[in-house]
Structure 1
Amino acid sequence: MNLFSRIGLGALLTVVTISTVYAQPVTQPTDPSAPKTRAQVRADLLEWLAAGYDPFDWINYPENAQRAGRIVAQRRAEQGNSSSTVQ
């Protein structure tokens, strides 16, 4: 290999390395109908469980799920309001 091809190869490797380091992953899709990742689904389930949802409570099913849904929605709204006021 001559000197110019080594310099070119080194420059190319540097650019690829830097671009992968600064690449930002998409944390939240802008399309609400886009499929969720497995981690997002698990996080949602943990939020619902923390709000009192019991997936094995079939006797109180609709009320249990609706109550937990309201609690989760309220918590998310509070988090959205608090993060917008901090900025």
Structure 2
Amino acid sequence: MNATSRIMLGALAACWAASAFAQPLADDPSAPKTRAQVRYELHAWIAAGYDPNDWINYPDNAMGAGRIVAQRRADAPPTTH
């Protein structure tokens, strides 16, 4: 193995390691969420009928929207990366 191929192999390994640590697993529920993920989820809940300003109907409003969002995710085709 010559020096150029060793450098390329080292750079490839470094990129792979950096991407493995930078991207949490999508299936890990304990992984911290990004701001974009939180906004996406909020929009999904609002589309399901959740109103964050409706304090009077709060528990029922949130639980109903949560059921709708969970059902939509279960019905959605799986995404691939």
TM-score by length of 2: 0.66
* Alpha carbons of structure 1 residues 69 and 31: separation in structure 2 relative to 1, 3 Å: same
What residue is the counterpart of 2:62 in the other structure?
65
| Superposed CA offset, 1:8-50 (max 9, x none) | 6x774x6648x75xx6873743421111111111111010011
Q: Aligned residues: percent identity?
A: 54
Q: Paired residues, what number?
A: 73
* Alpha carbons of structure 1 residues 28 and 40: separation in structure 2 relative to 1, 3 Å: farther
Task: State the structure with more CA Rg.
Answer: 1
Moved over 2 A (4+): 14-17, 23-31
User: Is the CA contact (8 Å cut-off) linking 2:45 and 2:69 kept in structure 1?
Assistant: yes
Does 2:35 match 1:38? yes
* Alpha carbons of structure 1 residues 44 and 28: separation in structure 2 relative to 1, 3 Å: farther
User: Is the CA contact (8 Å cut-off) linking 2:49 and 2:65 kept in structure 1?
Assistant: yes
Q: Name which of 62, 78, 81 aligns with 1:83.
A: 78
* Residue segments in structure 1 that go unaligned for 5+ positions in a row: 1-7
Q: Name which of 46, 55, 72 aligns with 1:49.
A: 46
* Alpha carbons of structure 1 residues 28 and 52: separation in structure 2 relative to 1, 3 Å: farther
* Residue segments in structure 2 that go unaligned for 5+ positions in a row: none
With 27-36 and 46-55 compared, the bigger mean Cα shift is at 27-36
TM-score by length of 1: 0.62
Report the Cα distance in structure 2 between the residues aligned to 1:44 and 1:28, rounded to whole angstroms: 17
